[in-house]
Amino acid sequence: MAAAGPLSGVRLVELAGLGPAPFAGMLLADLGADVVRVDRPGEQPLRAGDPRFDLLSRGKRAIVIDLKHELGAEAVLALASRADVLLEGFRPGVAERLGVGPDACLARKPSLVYGRMTGWGQSGPLAATAGHDLDYLALTGVLHAIGPADGPPQIPLNLLGDFGGGALYLVVGVLAALHHASRTGEGQVVDAAIVDGVAHLSTLISGLLAAGIWRDARGTNVLDGGAPFYAVYETADGRHLAVAALEPRFYQQFVRLLGVPDGLPSQYDPVGWPRVRSVFAATIRGRTLQDWLAVFEGTDACVSPVLSLTEARQHPQLADRGTFVTVAGVPQPAAAPRFSATPAGDPVPPPVRSEPAAAVFADWDAELTPAIAESGAVPSATG
């Protein structure tokens, strides 16, 4: 399937799963890769509802292969032999038991990039244990650092673990391995673990902690809500204003436009932060969100409205950028990032149903032997 984008011509097999591995496949499809998702018989990737809204499947084709059938693995290996990348998000050892582990796949295609996505990694005492985004954040210390000083840790959706520390690191690994394979012809296994990625994302904080300028207590530091000039405040109409006036020149502009009395404690004096926060909160609560937006419009005070997911689609900045698009009637984020020479274009809607496997195999010049096609291992091979 031809597609625009910098990865046009790259072929990828995605063994169907949930969360970060499908997101990685979606991102690579957004950038032009030809992604074929391998579903199991009866599998519903969205689990509930209309498959048009399964946006992690956008840009992909889907076929059905029964990996529990004795010839199911052979069908996947036939696809892998014509692919550049294979992605799987099983627990360690599952792909090997199904006959589609890295050794079997690389034996068919030595230059293949075999991407593995797990929470705990392929090794270690927790490797075979179930877990979810929140567990991985908790174990890395990152969850402990998020939230107010006088409350429990706060859950940052599943964006930080599954998609930030997981899928994006898998994509980085895949692209780096593709670069290596293009130069050497040598494939390899990319072991992407959410705990590794989340820990890596906290590198800056680790440095600050080691330097003694970051407290290992949430809600007490400059970037975690402890500072009154990097915080969220409620307005008179129950909305919220995000204030991120970190640098002194921005802070001075913010304070001036806010109209608070002179004589506040020094910006970076933590002892004075409670008093400053009280003044800021009382002042901001005195006017509506729209009032404050009018005050700060066009300035460098680093103040923004806290928008809902629905409101964000209409914001002039994001509308001008085309950050959100509507595809087949479904609003969704556009592909990112942008490329000057190889633009990716709008996403392709998710597949509503599986394609006949024979057509996909033929398109990839992969061998779907009569024995496999007639065995029942590939239920969609004939229609």
Domain CATH for 282: 3.30.1540.10
Do 120 and 161 lie in one domain? The reply is yes
**333 in a domain, yes or no?**
yes
Cα 57 from chain centre: 13
CA distances from 180 to 183, 186, 193 (A): 5, 7, 21
pLDDT of residue 155 exceeding 50, the answer is yes
Do 298 and 340 lie in one domain? The reply is no
Domain CATH for 51: 3.40.50.10540
Q: Count the residues in the chain.
A: 383
**302 in a domain, yes or no?**
yes
Do 179 and 45 lie in one domain? The reply is yes
**1 in a domain, yes or no?**
no
**207 in a domain, yes or no?**
no
The DSSP bridge pattern shows strands 85-88 and 113-118 to be parallel
Do 339 and 302 lie in one domain? The reply is no
Do 237 and 349 lie in one domain? The reply is no
Do 74 and 192 lie in one domain? The reply is yes
For residue 357, give the H/E element and its range: helix 357-363
Is 343 in contact with 4 (CB distance < 8 Å)? yes
The per-residue pLDDT for 2 is 59
Closest CA to 328 of 142, 34, 57: 57
pLDDT of residue 263 exceeding 60, the answer is yes
**197 in a domain, yes or no?**
yes
Domain membership of residue 45 as a residue range: 11-201+325-382
Please, which residues bridge with residue 333 across strands? 324
What percentage of the chain exceeds 90 in pLDDT?
A: 92
Out of 123-127, 129-133, 251-255, 261-265, which region has the weakest mean confidence (pLDDT)? 261-265
Could you say which of 132, 179, 237, 300 is catalytic?
132
- H helix count then E strand count, the chain: 15, 11
Do 287 and 164 lie in one domain? The reply is no
CA distances from 196 to 21, 123, 209, 336 (A): 15, 12, 18, 23
Closest CA to 139 of 151, 121, 157, 122: 121
> pLDDT, tens digit, for every residue of 104-131?
999 999 999 999 999 999 999 999 999 9
Do 345 and 287 lie in one domain? The reply is no
For residue 117, give the H/E element and its range: strand 113-118
Closest CA to 35 of 72, 74, 67, 83: 83
Q: How many domains does the chain have?
A: 2
Closest CA to 63 of 22, 35, 98, 104: 35
Of the candidates 312, 340, 360, which is a domain's last residue?
312
Is 194 in contact with 161 (CB distance < 8 Å)? yes
**270 in a domain, yes or no?**
yes
Could you say which of 162, 191, 196, 224 is catalytic?
162
Do 245 and 269 lie in one domain? The reply is yes
pLDDT of residue 49 exceeding 80, the answer is no
Residue 345 DSSP label: -
Residue pointed to by tokens 């020094």:
266
**317 in a domain, yes or no?**
no
Do 106 and 164 lie in one domain? The reply is yes
Closest CA to 192 of 364, 27, 7: 27
The per-residue pLDDT for 117 is 98
3-state secondary structure 178-225: HHHHHHHCCCEEEEEEHHHHHHHHCHHHHHHHHCCCCCCCCCCCCCCC
Do 94 and 234 lie in one domain? The reply is no
Is 347 in contact with 335 (CB distance < 8 Å)? yes
Is 166 in contact with 197 (CB distance < 8 Å)? yes
**172 in a domain, yes or no?**
yes
Of the candidates 287, 312, 337, which is a domain's last residue?
312
Mean pLDDT across the stretch 260-276? 94
pTM for this prediction: 0.95
The per-residue pLDDT for 382 is 45
Mean pLDDT across the stretch 18-38? 97
Q: How many CB atoms lie within 10 A of CB 157?
A: 9
pLDDT of residue 3 exceeding 80, the answer is no
pLDDT of residue 8 exceeding 80, the answer is yes
3-state SS class at 12: strand
Of the candidates 286, 312, 338, which is a domain's last residue?
312
CA distance 195 to 368: 38
The per-residue pLDDT for 383 is 41
Do 245 and 353 lie in one domain? The reply is no
The set of residues, in sequence order, having a beta carbon less than 8 Å from that of 63 and lying 6+ positions away, is 36, 37, 38, 39, 354, 355, 356, 357, 360, 378, 380
Is 29 in contact with 58 (CB distance < 8 Å)? yes
Catalytic, 162? Answer: yes
Please, which residues bridge with residue 240 across strands? 234
The per-residue pLDDT for 30 is 97
Question: What is the chain's mean pLDDT, rounded?
Answer: 95
End-to-end CA separation in angstroms for the chain: 19
pLDDT of residue 185 exceeding 70, the answer is yes
Mean pLDDT across the stretch 13-17? 96
> pLDDT, tens digit, for every residue of 309-361?
999 999 999 999 999 999 999 999 999 999 999 999 899 999 988 899 999 99
**Residue 262 pLDDT grade (very low, low, confident, very high; cuts 50, 70, 90):** confident
CA distance 371 to 382: 13
Is 378 in contact with 68 (CB distance < 8 Å)? no
pLDDT of residue 303 exceeding 70, the answer is yes
> pLDDT, tens digit, for every residue of 200-236?
999 999 999 999 999 999 999 999 999 999 999 999 9
